[in-house]
Amino acid sequence: MRTGKRQSLGLVLAVISAAAFGTSGSFAKSLLATGWTPLAVVTFRVCGAAVVMLPAASVAVRGRWRLLRRNLGVVLAYGTIAVAGCQLAFFYAVRSLSVGVALLLEYCGIVLVVIWVWLRHGRRPSRLTSVGMVAAVVGLLLVLDVLGGLHVSLGGVAWGLLAAVGLATFYIVSAHEHEGSLPPIALAGFGLAAGAVSLLMAGVARAAPFRASRADVRLAGTHVPWWAAVLELALIAAAFAYAVGIIAARMVGPSLASFAGLTEVLFAVGFAWALLGEAPGGAQALGGVLVLVGVLAVRLGEPPEDFAVAQPIP
């Protein structure tokens, strides 16, 4: 396939992946509204995605199981913090915040990556990166309506910022590549499996409430079976989205794929508006634009190798 067509197809696949990821907040919130707890939603989603991804991950290592043992620490950090922890915090956030606000808070993890690189490696952020960080902070203040009369759950904001830590961990762990690294599809599959095990252990230990419901969920004014929402989260918003995102990143490169990943926020807001009726206010919409512009500036201002090849699972 010619380079131009390959990049065009890769870009289309990257946007499709971002759209699939963007459905997670709406479908998760519909389950939470019927009595599901965040731990139950995340456990069903991650376990389902792990079952789908594990065969592909096993094929990717091609019998090199020593490679998996050498990267066990990376897999555990990826699975427990970047996958399970990030998703759990995000779903706790959407219980009390709109999907768009929760996702914008999570995407502040990109700013945390820049701060971590600065503190860990002594590489000061560029001028463009600094401008982007300021724009992102101002945008968040508008999104949270700090100066207005909008009541925002501080607990929800705290969970959203914890999700940002999980997203930052995703980028840092995924970007740590060397000759003995696992292939991306293997890291994804085994990481999902590690996340699934940690979530199941948390449920057994009753570290957090674990409740599920068989009641129908309500999406776009229509009643939908609970299992349909769970399957969408596991198969479309996780396994499909992640696999397509990896393919896209390999076709267009990490930088362009990560730019396309920013459209996830726009898709998430659109799906929440269409499925849940969560229309953003004027100030929040302006703040969201500022956050996106700020995050884009951060990405343009920092070396591409500081960010992961694949897109995250929010």
For every residue of 21-59, DSSP letters joined together read HHTHHHHHHHHHTTT--HHHHHHHHHHHHHHHHHHHHHH
Q: What is the DSSP letter of 310?
A: S
Give the residue among 76, 57, 15 at the shortest CA–CA distance from 244: 15
Q: What is the DSSP letter of 218?
A: E
pLDDT at 237: 92
- Three-state DSSP at 98 gives coil
- Low-confidence stretches of the chain (pLDDT < 50) are 308-311
One-letter amino acid of 295: V
Rg (C-alpha) for the chain, rounded Å, is: 19
pLDDT at 214: 94
Within a 10 A sphere around the Cβ of 65, how many other Cβ atoms? 10
Residue 128 CA to chain centroid, in angstroms? 24
Give the residue among 299, 296, 272 at the shortest CA–CA distance from 27: 272
pLDDT at 309: 47
Token pair 């700013």 is found at 111
pLDDT at 194: 94
Give the residue among 309, 278, 285 at the shortest CA–CA distance from 26: 278
Residue range 245-265, pLDDT digits in tens: 777 776 776 556 666 777 788
pLDDT at 299: 67
In this structure, which long-range contacts are made by residues 223-231, counting pairs with CB atoms below 8 Å and at least 24 apart in sequence?
224/30, 226/31, 226/34, 229/27, 229/30, 229/31, 230/31, 230/41, 230/44, 230/45, 230/48, 231/48
One-letter amino acid of 304: P
- C-alpha–C-alpha distance, residues 150 and 60, integer Å: 49
